[in-house]
Structure formats: structure tokens, C-alpha cells
Amino acid sequence: QYHFDGIGRECHKKLIGSPKHHYTQPTANNMTQQNDTCIAECIARKLKLIRRSGHLFETNINDLLKRSFSNVNWFAKELKNNFYKCIDENQPPIYRNGCNVLPIKAAHCLWRKIQLSCPMHRIKDQKKCRKIKRKISKSDAEEPE
């Protein structure tokens, strides 16, 4: 999930002290979430996806996504439909334990929107995809507005 030209490994090594993927290390769940949040912020900063103020940088995020998924035809439409539901550069940064949660929240939101909108004929493991979609839909229904 964090493989932008080795930046993810670099951030992981800087923050965790080891280039190995952190899920292999025995840590408490909240510690793993904190690691993910800090790593996502590090990646976002290195890719210039957040401003010095901690606000998301909409233009740079949009450009990165367009470049990364330029060969995925259905994604361009979904990006237009869902981008601003997940990315709001006016939202003030939210810090937990010293790390900005906006980058990982935006990435997770986009991942959910993509998973829910991916055409079934494009899915290799349709059974797994249906399970993921049900889980996302269930968690969306349980979230307070």
C-alpha cells in the first residue's frame, strides 16, 4: 500500500527503524494504526500531497491519482465522482499522537469508494470482492453522520 518509488520503505525505516513491513512485527493494534498514520503522513509530505500547514493539497493528490491510474479507464470517471467526497483541502489537520491523520483518512476513503465502484468484470476474485463490499457497506451504515 505504501510503495511510491520506495518512499514507503524510506518512511517506514525512518519512523519504525526497520525497512521491513511493520505488520510482521508483533505490536498492539493501536500502535500499528499509529505507525500507519505516521507513515502515511511521511509519504504525503515527501510526495507534496499535504501543505506545510498539514492541509491536504488537492491539486497534487488529483495529479498523482490521474498519473497512477491513467491506464484504468473506469477509474477516471470514479475519480471525478468521488475525489471531493474524500479530499477537502479546507479541512484543518487533525493530529493524534503527533501525526496528521488526514492523509490516511483520505487514502482510506478513496480506497473504499474505489472498492465499491469497481466493475465486477474487472475483479479477479469476485467472491472476495463481494465480501469486501459487504464489509464496507456494513461499516458505512454503522458510522454516525
Q: What is the pLDDT of residues 61-119, one digit of tens each?
A: 999 988 888 888 888 878 888 888 899 989 999 999 899 999 999 998 988 888 888 78
Say if 81 falls within a structural domain.
Answer: yes
CATH number of the domain at 110, please: 1.10.238
Residue 1 lies in a domain: no
Instruction: Tell me, yes or no, if the pTM score tops 0.85.
Output: no
How many structural domains comprise the chain? 1
pLDDT classification of 1: cutoffs 50, 70, 90: very low
The residues, ordered by sequence, that sit 6+ positions from 78 with a Cβ below 8 Å of its Cβ are 113, 114, 117
Q: Kindly provide the residue ranges of all beta strands, DSSP E only, lying in 72-119, ordered along the sequence.
A: 95-96, 99-100
Is residue 11 situated within a structural domain? Answer: yes
In a domain, 114, yes or no: yes
Residue in 112, 124, 96, 87 with CA at minimum distance from that of residue 33: 96
103 falls within a domain: yes
Is residue 26 predicted with pLDDT exceeding 90? no
φ/ψ of 20, rounded to 5, equals: -70, 155
User: What is the distance between the alpha carbons of residues 95 and 97, in angstroms, rounded to a whole number?
Assistant: 7
Q: Which amino acid is at 32?
A: T
Residue-range definition of the domain harbouring residue 89: 7-142
**What percentage of the chain carries pLDDT values higher than 90?**
31
